[in-house]
Amino acid sequence: MIRAAWILAAKDLRLFFRDRTALLFAFLLPVAIVLAFGFIMSGVFGEQGSMGRVSLLLVDRDGREASTGLTDALERTGMVRLRLRPGGRPWTVEEARRQVEDGEAHHALVIEEGFAEALVSGELPPLRLIRDPGRAMEDRIVRAALLQAMMELTQGGLWVPVMRRSLADLGMDPEGIETVTRFLRGIQETLGAFLGARRAEGAAGGAEEAPGGGGSFLEGDFLALVPVEMEDHAPPDRPKEATFMLIHNIAGMGVMMLMFGLAAAGRTLLEERDQGTLRRLLLSRAPRESVLLGKFFSTFLTGLVQLAVVFVVGEMVFRVDLFRDPLTLGVLVLSTCLAVTAFGLLLGTWCRTTRQADGLGTLLILVMSALGGAWMPLGQFALPPAVELASKCTLTYWAVGGIESHLWNSQGLDHPVIQTAILVQLAFAVAASLLARSLFHRRFLSG
């Protein structure tokens, strides 16, 4: 029996290794997925696997050495990566505000004039966070980083002005505040001595603090003590129930499933060829290109219905006013469906077998979804430039980004972000359709 089993196994292996397509996808697909995820995860979560750094715009209106001290301390927290303008210069307040309003950034730190003097005099340092208040996760990380950096910069002395302000806000009389201040200074000296000794031990032992790990005790109410003024920018019509991750998931999963659906629709061209109906279509009175155009229509309409169902069900379940600007959403959905339809047909005309189309389709969709941010909002993390560039080369980046920017930032058709997303997708749709048409002629009509 074993001998017979071996003979059967040998036959299966021989057939498997002779099928080059199966071989390619058996090995290429997992390798490609592993590589894509490896790049993204190392970009998002850092080299040591802790929480990734979130990007933070920097506006330095003080421009003194103390500002550099703060930015260095912020970088050392391992929680944020400061994003300067191309060319390495800090942003202006107006630019930073626009970046946040456009959804290009979620937080910008403004180091106001007088920051250095305030540090010296023991006063509250003038800092401002321009932020999108809906980005709660990033907000906690940025504020935790800021608190940690300020504590380091002031050797723990920040507690005193922070507490004085809080007590004054609560209505305590000046005498009471002075009593508490004396008490706090005692704590500050004790804490400073303790932290200094601990830091010295760490330096002697060569131990490094894990990025992001230092902020773990700065949870909950402690974050409210971060000495920073908030300037919130959120579109007025964004529903309170909407969270960024919810909107992102509606856009990301919607686009990814659309790609799977339409890739399957595109492969029906190969199925029709295999079952002989394609030849029958080509021999009818119908113009031959109408066969491809017919596939385009059916695939496109399938996609429209699919996305419409996603949005309608999403709205019914989550009530986040997805249809507050139906025109913009409609144009985005149309451009996404056009681009993904063209992708599906390109796949159907490029591949020689349905098996190849399945393998290549799965490979491309998973890699594009991972790289393009369909699974997680990569835009909130400071990605390495190569990963960022690769991300922008995917269809998913523009499809998910367009829908997400519209639903989250309420950007309409007049906004450059939306216009770019639409134009890129339309350009892809045209290019991929022309290529699919050429391949259709070459592969299906050129006998």
Partner 1 sequence: MLLEVDGLRYAYGERLAVQGVSFEVAPGEVFGLLGPNGAGKTTTILCLAGVFRRWEGEIRWEGEPFRPAERVGDRARLGWVPQELALYEGLSGRENLEFFGRLQGLRGTALAEAVDRALGLAGLADRARDRVRSWSGGMKRRLNIAIGDLHRPGLLLCDEPTVGVDPQSRNHIFDRLQTLKNEGRALLYTTHYMEEAQRLCDRVGIIHEGRIIACGTARELAAAAGDPDADLEQVFLHLTGRHLRDEG
Question: 5: how many CB neighbours lie within 10 A of its CB?
Answer: 9
Minimum Å gap between C-beta 447 and partner 1 is 4
Closest approach of partner 1 to the CB of residue 284, in Å:
4
Q: Which of 236, 287, 316, 385 touches partner 1 by CB under 8 A?
A: 287
Does 431 participate in binding partner 1 (rule CB under 8 A)?
no
List of long-range contacts for 443-447, beta carbons under 8 Å, 24+ apart: 443/349, 443/352, 444/269, 444/273, 444/278, 444/282, 444/349, 445/282, 445/288
Q: 120 or 283, CB closer to partner 1?
A: 283
Within 304-333, the residues that bind partner 1 by CB under 8 A are none
Comparison of 281 and 376: residue with beta carbon closer to partner 1: 281
Contact between residue 417 and residue 447 where contact means Cβ atoms under 8 Å apart: no
In whole angstroms, the minimum distance from the beta carbon of 276 to partner 1 comes to: 4
State which residue, 95 or 271, has the beta carbon closest to partner 1: 271
Minimum CB distance to partner 1 smaller for 206 or for 446: 446
Contacts 24+ apart (CB under 8 A), 378-381: 378/40, 378/43, 378/44, 380/54, 380/55, 380/106, 380/135, 380/137, 380/138, 381/43, 381/44, 381/52, 381/53, 381/54, 381/55
Q: Which is nearer to partner 1, 87 or 447 (CB)?
A: 447
State in angstroms the smallest separation of the CB of 288 from partner 1.
8
397-418: buried (b, 16+ CB within 10 Å) or exposed (e) per residue? bbbbbbbbbbbbbbbeeebebb
- Cβ proximity to partner 1: between 196 and 294 the closer is 294
Asked whether 361 and 347 are in contact (CB, 8 A), the reply is yes
Place of tokens 């856009």: 251
Choose between 75 and 271: whose C-beta lies nearer to partner 1: 271
181's CB contacts (< 8 A; 6+ apart) are 160, 163, 164
277 vs 438, beta carbon nearer partner 1? 277
Work out which of 286, 312, 427, 431 binds partner 1, going by CB under 8 A.
Answer: 286
Q: Of 285, 316, 327, 414, which one interacts with partner 1 (CB under 8 A)?
A: 285
Residue 295 beta carbon to partner 1: minimum distance, rounded to whole angstroms: 14
Instruction: Please answer whether residues 179 and 256 qualify as being in contact, where contact means their C-beta atoms are separated by less than 8 angstroms.
Output: no
Nearest distance, CB of residue 87 and partner 1, angstroms: 57
Within 254-283, the residues that bind partner 1 by CB under 8 A are 275-277, 279-283
The Cα–Cα gap between 12 and 8 comes to 6
Q: Return the number of the residue (229 or 274) whose C-beta is nearest partner 1.
A: 274
| 87 near partner 1, judged by CB under 8 A | no
Q: In whole angstroms, how close is the CB of 303 to partner 1 at the nearest point?
A: 20
Q: Which of 310, 294, 293 is nearest to 259 (CA)?
A: 310
- Establish if 446 lies at the interface with partner 1 (CB under 8 A): yes
- Cβ 271 to partner 1 shortest distance, Å: 11
Binding site for partner 1 (CB under 8 A): 275-277, 279-287, 445-447
